[in-house]
Structures are given as C-alpha cells and as structure tokens.
Amino acid sequence: MEVDREDGRSQNQLRPLACSRNILHRAHGSASWSQGDTKVLAAVYGPKAGTKKNENPEKACIEVIWKPKTGQIGKPEKEYEMILKRTLESICILTVNPNTTTSIIVQVVNDDGALLPSAINAACMALVDAGIPMKHLAVAICCCVAKSGYVILDPTKLEEQKMKAFAYLVFPNSVRSVLPEGSLRVEGEPIENGIITSVTHGIMSVADYFYCLERGRAASVKLSDFLRRNLQQQSTDSSKAG
Amino acid sequence: MGLPNANGDLSTEVEVDAFRRLFPLHFYEKHLLESISPDARPLGRARETTIALGAVASANGSALAKIGSTTMLAAIKMKVMTPSLETPDEGCIVIDFHMPPICSPIVRPGGPAEAAPVVAKQLSDTILSSGMINLKELSLVSGKAAWMAYLDIYCLDADGALFDTALLSAVAAFSHLEIPVVSLNDDGKIVLSEEQGLSDREPVNKEKRKINLSSVPFSLTCVLHKNYILADPTAEEESIMDTILTVVLDSSSQLVSLHKPGGTVLAYTSAIQDCIALTRQRVKELQKILEEAISGMEVD
C-alpha cells in the first residue's frame, strides 16, 4: 500500500540521523542526537558516591533529569524521567559500582515528533561516551498506526497528532557474534527481538500492535548499524588525535 | 544458624518469615516453581476485587475500589465553565492522583511521591484516549457553558498494582456520576440550581442526568520474572521483581495501552501474548464486578 507522507518518505523510512559525542567538556559523557528536526542533548555525570534515600545501596543507582524546551516541569516530564530511568537501569550493569549514583540530564532542544525515543538514544550514546558499563545498547523507535491500519515509522509531530495511535518501542541492539546462531536464542527468538520498553498512546487493535513490533524490530536493526558505524568511526578519530 | 542444605541455601534451617526477609528472591522462586504465589493464588489470578459506589456523599460521583489490599477512593465534582474557543461544544475532564502519606511507608509529607505524577499522567492519557467519555456530552450550551469534571483519586493503601485500582475506581466513579441540575439565574448565566437557591426554576438539563460510557477500559498489571508471569503483584513482589508490564484493554478487546517501562527481563512475543490473554480474562471479571455494583446501587 503506497502511503503519502508529507515529507515524501516511505512507510518504513527513518528521518536522517545524526549523532555526535563528547560535545560538553565538563560532563563525564555527553551526546547530541537528532532525528530530522527532533534534537535532544544528553549529559552524564557519574558515578558519584552515595545513593538516594529509598534506593538499594548494593547496586548503582541512576537518576534522570528531564528538561523541556520551554515551560515548567510537570507530570509529562516526570513520566519521561521514570521511563528513561527504568530503561537505562535495565541496560546498565548495576553491580559493578555499588552505592553510586549516575545522573543523566536530558535537554530537549527541539521537539518534532518521536521525542522519547530520541532521548533514549541520546542518553544511551552519552552513557557510552562516559564509559559506564552496559549489557547492550538501547535502540528506540516510534511507530504510528493510522486509522486505515497501516504503520509508519519515525513520525513528525504533525503525523503523531493526526494518527490514531502510536507506540514507542525500545529494543536491545542487534548482535554480531562469533558463536553459532542457534545458541543465542531465548525461547526460540533471537535476543534482539525482546522488548526493553514499550509505551503506547491511543487505541489500536492487538494485531496492529504486533505489526508495529515487527516493523520496529526491522528498524532497530538499521538503527543498530548506524550506531555501530558511528561508534567505530569516532573511536578511530580520537585514537588518531591522541 | 545452621549449615546450608543440599540446595545450597538455608531454607530448612531458617523460619519462613526470616527466610522471606533475608532471601526474598529465593522465597518467591520456590513458589513460582510450583506455579503459585505466597498468598496461595495461582499465577494468573488477580487478587480479590471489590467496588463500593457512592462512598463520598458530597461528591457528584464517587467510588471506592479495592484490589487485594490496594485501596483507592475516586470522587468527581462537576462545575460549570465556559468552553474554550477551539472546542465550543466540548466539556473537559481534569484528573488528579494523590498519594497521601497514609498509603505507604515510603511516602513522606512535603513532596509528592515519585509514583504519583506518573500514575496521574498514565491515568489521564488512558481515560482520555480510550474514548470512554464523549466530551460533547458534557456540553450545556454550545460556546457558553459546559461541564468541567474534576476527578480526584486518593490512594489510601498502596500495595501494588496502583494503576489498575486507580483506573477501576475512576471508571466506577464515572458510572455512578449523576450530573447536577442547572438552571439560568437572573444574570443569564447557567448555574447549579442548589447552590444559588434556584430549585424552583426550570432546570436546563432535566432529561440528561447520567453520562453514557462506551468502550470502558480495564487493565491488568503483570510482573515478568525469568519465564514466569505473575499477575496482579503486591508491593513486595513489585519491589523484588522489577519488570512490570501493564496492559489496558477496552470492552471490545482493543489495546488502549501496553506499558512496560524498562526492567531486567526482555519481553518476547510469547510473553506479551500471554499477558494480553490474561488481561482479556480479567476484563470479563471486572465487567461483571462493576455491573453487580451498579445494579446493587439501583436496587437501593
């Protein structure tokens, strides 16, 4: 089914991605991530000594501060902070530095759709830049379901508002391994098919949701490749400079 | 205290309560192996649910919902307001969720609990996007007067599955809601008849006193641990096993929300399908409980 999107993209096409790391000098790690016009800056400070009051001191703790582009901090920001915190807690290896706090500050520079996935991607790259040990990366994507049932990826803000429902999905990054393919499967599915985080908005049928999952997985493979190239390139650049 | 037994743990040497506090994860895993939870529920069954309508006499609509020990009190107050220019024939619903210190030892006065704004936002997204209430029904005079419904939900006891109980109490309060009588006062404005002592005047909305609820949303929270799915966790279970998945379905089995905020366990397609199946069963149970509560009120 051919779908006309305003910026001429096809159904499964993502907007141009750009990521640069180590842009802030005082932060231990920082990254800026942009998907089309949506741009998010993330900075990581840590690990710092001590954990917050109700947190388990036997593990490292993650604290997220979300700063919107304009306006005061309200309930939507608190919800984003909670989702980001729990997503990043599940990818970081929390037992390496117990009784420490790592703070991640997310600053929204421009919001043109798919804001939470961009923030998750930016925070993940900032954690890599800071050298925080992680199990795998978190690759986030947004899928929208239209009234007629087709699914588009990476919507702009206008598209998000027009669509019947959308889902933010976060997957682990794709695995490139020397082990034979069969050995890395869990319950007969490869590890990168599992969902770390899913947040949906609006009504969709259960079948639509599973269709979004499929599309999301395919897109996460493309995003993983982009991340891999980006990380390898910048690490060779810094070794030349050093 | 004794030596570890053949399993390498102290389970035969230590009393049950001490074992539960010292090794909570092992305690739960022993139960999950037998497909049962410590309060003798099978893994897929939710705790006992009750709804009491009309708990707050001074509110226009109210309900007290309990799932296990988690207790939520929802109350709706209606006020007349002028609708905005972009939507002249629509009313408005404002949803607020409070967690006072009475509900849990983790909540202290002086600032909202961490979970409160998150549940509040989830609730208002779910209720507004599910289309349960048609905002046009809340309009009185197009462009001049419409209803603003203030829904306040108070958590009285936080023992896990906060979102489920809050949604249930909100839905029950809306089904109990009775729109108050309004009439025109001397200045030509629409006001509540009782407040202004205008009970003898002709009411503007004599016929329509109950809101029509279509596609009511119901939810189920599950906790994922290795390959077990435990439905309707208590607060203790939520704190030990940190992967929580909430599915909200409406009465026509459409997915209103699938909320999984992180968590160490990755959710594969099979786990999601199982959770959705458990939620479908739960929707039928909850519909029955709500209908019984409503018919119980009408008999009185």
**CATH of the domain spanning A17-175+195-234:** 3.30.230.70
Distance between CA atoms of residues B74 and B173, nearest Å: 6
Chain A residue with minimal CA distance to B132?
A203
pLDDT higher than threshold 80 for residue B40: yes
Average pLDDT over residues B231-254: 91
Read off φ and ψ for residue A34, nearest 5 degrees: -135, 135
For residue B273, give how far its alpha carbon lies from the nearest alpha carbon of chain A (Å): 9
Q: For A24-42, what is each residue's pLDDT tens digit?
A: 999 999 999 999 999 999 9
pLDDT at B217: 93
Distance between CA atoms of residues B58 and B75, nearest Å: 9
For residue A187, give how far its alpha carbon lies from the nearest alpha carbon of chain B (Å): 8
Chain A residue with minimal CA distance to B277?
A206
Residue B201: Cβ-neighbour burial (10 angstroms; 0-12, 13-18, 19+):
middle
**3 state SS of B27:** helix
Residue B213: Cβ-neighbour burial (10 angstroms; 0-12, 13-18, 19+):
middle
Q: Helical H runs in A60-153?
A: 75-91, 115-130
pLDDT higher than threshold 70 for residue B241: yes
Nearest Cβ partner for A204 among B121, B215, B255: B255
Find chain A residues with C-beta within 8 A of B225's C-beta.
none
Enter the tokens of residue B152: 């306040």
Read off φ and ψ for residue A58, nearest 5 degrees: -80, -5
pLDDT at A242: 39
**3 state SS of A77:** helix
Name the residue ranges covered by the structural domains of chain A. Answer: 17-175+195-234
- CB contact, 8 Å: B122 with chain A? yes
Of residues B73 and B12, the one with the higher pLDDT is B73
Distance between CA atoms of residues A72 and A196, nearest Å: 29
- CB contact, 8 Å: A206 with chain B? yes
Name the residue ranges covered by the structural domains of chain B. Answer: 41-298
pLDDT at B5: 55
pLDDT at A241: 44
pLDDT at A77: 93
Residues 6+ apart with CB under 8 A from B267: A194, A195, A198, B224, B243, B245, B260
pLDDT higher than threshold 80 for residue B298: no
**Average pLDDT by stretches of 10, chain A with 242 residues:** 73 90 93 94 92 86 94 91 94 92 95 93 94 92 88 89 90 82 68 86 90 90 91 67 42
DSSP state of A54: T
Sign of the dihedral defined by the CA atoms of residues B149, B151, B152, B156, in that order: positive
Q: For B261-278, what is each residue's pLDDT tens digit?
A: 988 888 888 899 999 999
Does the distance separating the beta carbons of A200 and B257 come in below 8 Å? yes
Measured CA angle at A123 (ends A98, A31), to 5 deg: 115
Read off φ and ψ for residue B55, nearest 5 degrees: -70, -30
Does the distance separating the beta carbons of A82 and B261 come in below 8 Å? yes
Nearest Cβ partner for A201 among B125, B267, B272: B125
**Residues 15 through 44 of chain A touching chain B, CB cutoff 8 Å:** none
H/E stretch holding A212: helix A206-241
| Cβ atoms of residues A44 and A29 within 8 Å | yes
Number of Cβ atoms within 10 Å of the Cβ of A54: 11
Does the distance separating the beta carbons of B263 and A186 come in below 8 Å? no
- CB contact, 8 Å: B259 with chain A? yes
Distance between CA atoms of residues B287 and B31, nearest Å: 30
Q: Are strands B92-98 and B61-67 parallel, antiparallel or unpaired?
A: unpaired
For residue A135, give how far its alpha carbon lies from the nearest alpha carbon of chain B (Å): 10
| DSSP of B115-133 | HHHHHHHHHHHHHHHTT-S
| Cβ atoms of residues B96 and B151 within 8 Å | yes
Q: Which of A39, A5, A219 is nearest to A114 (CA)?
A: A39
Distance between CA atoms of residues A84 and A199, nearest Å: 11
Q: Are strands B190-192 and B182-184 parallel, antiparallel or unpaired?
A: antiparallel
pLDDT higher than threshold 60 for residue B6: no
Q: Which of A40, A43, A60 is nearest to A52 (CA)?
A: A60
Average pLDDT over residues B152-173: 94
Does the distance separating the beta carbons of A82 and B258 come in below 8 Å? no
Find chain A residues with C-beta within 8 A of B131's C-beta.
203
- The pLDDT > 90 percentage for chain A reads 55
| Cβ atoms of residues B258 and A200 within 8 Å | yes
- Whole-angstrom CA distances from B247 to A34, A109, A206, B6 are 31, 32, 11, 40
Read off φ and ψ for residue A10, nearest 5 degrees: -85, 175
CATH superfamily membership of B41-298: GHMP Kinase, N-terminal domain (3.30.230.70)
pLDDT at B207: 57
Mean residue pLDDT of chain B comes to 86
DSSP state of A74: -
- CB contact, 8 Å: B251 with chain A? no
A113-148: burial string, b at 16+ Cβ within 10 Å, e else:
bbbbbbbbbbbbbbbbbbebebebbbbbbbbbbbee
Provide the whole-model pTM.
Answer: 0.90
pLDDT at B141: 81
Q: Which of B224, B171, B218 is nearest to B44 (CA)?
A: B224
pLDDT at A53: 81
- CB contact, 8 Å: A211 with chain B? no
pLDDT at A240: 45
Q: For B73-117, what is each residue's pLDDT tens digit?
A: 999 999 888 888 888 888 889 999 999 999 988 888 888 888 899
Tell me: cis bond preceding A47? Omega within 30 of 0 counts.
yes
Residue labelled with tokens 């053949």 = B6
pLDDT at B203: 62
